[in-house]
Amino acid sequence: MEKFDSLKPQDEVTVTIWGPEGSRLFQSTDFGYHSIEEAIGTALHTAALVVSPEDCTFEVTNQNTFVSHKYRLNADGNLVLII
């Protein structure tokens, strides 16, 4: 059984970073990720944000399956699924 956050390297994944005011700060699409954490970490490294990542929402979409989830970072730096 696959976890909700599983990705395969062949999946085309889009990561969108939304700012505190709901504005889109960054978006990237790439292949090769094994986990949501890896995809968001790469986007954060590439984005060079001027706001704190804890103030952002991360939308991760698997373009192969059209499954999309939103995440936030908690105070400990762990990703939390937004339901």
pLDDT digits (tens, 9 = 90+) for 30-73: 999 999 999 999 999 999 899 999 999 999 999 999 999 999 99
Does any domain span residue 1?
A: no
Does any domain span residue 64?
A: yes
Does any domain span residue 3?
A: no
Does any domain span residue 52?
A: yes
Task: Give the model's pLDDT for residue 5.
Answer: 61
Structure tokens at 21: 């005011």
Q: In terms of C-beta density within 10 A (0-12 exposed, 13-18 middle, 19 or more buried), how is residue 33 classed?
A: buried
Does any domain span residue 4?
A: no
Q: SS3 of 62, please? A: strand
Structure tokens at 69: 């989830």
Report the number of distinct structural domains present in the chain. 1
Q: Are 49 and 20 contacting, i.e. CB atoms less than 8 angstroms apart?
A: no
Does any domain span residue 5?
A: no
Does any domain span residue 57?
A: yes
**Band of residue 4 on the pLDDT scale cut at 50, 70, 90:** low
pLDDT digits (tens, 9 = 90+) for 14-29: 999 999 999 999 999 9
- Range(s) of the domain holding residue 33: 13-82
Give the whole-number percent of the chain exceeding pLDDT 90: 81
Does any domain span residue 7?
A: no
Q: How many other CB atoms sit within 10 Å of the CB of residue 66?
A: 7
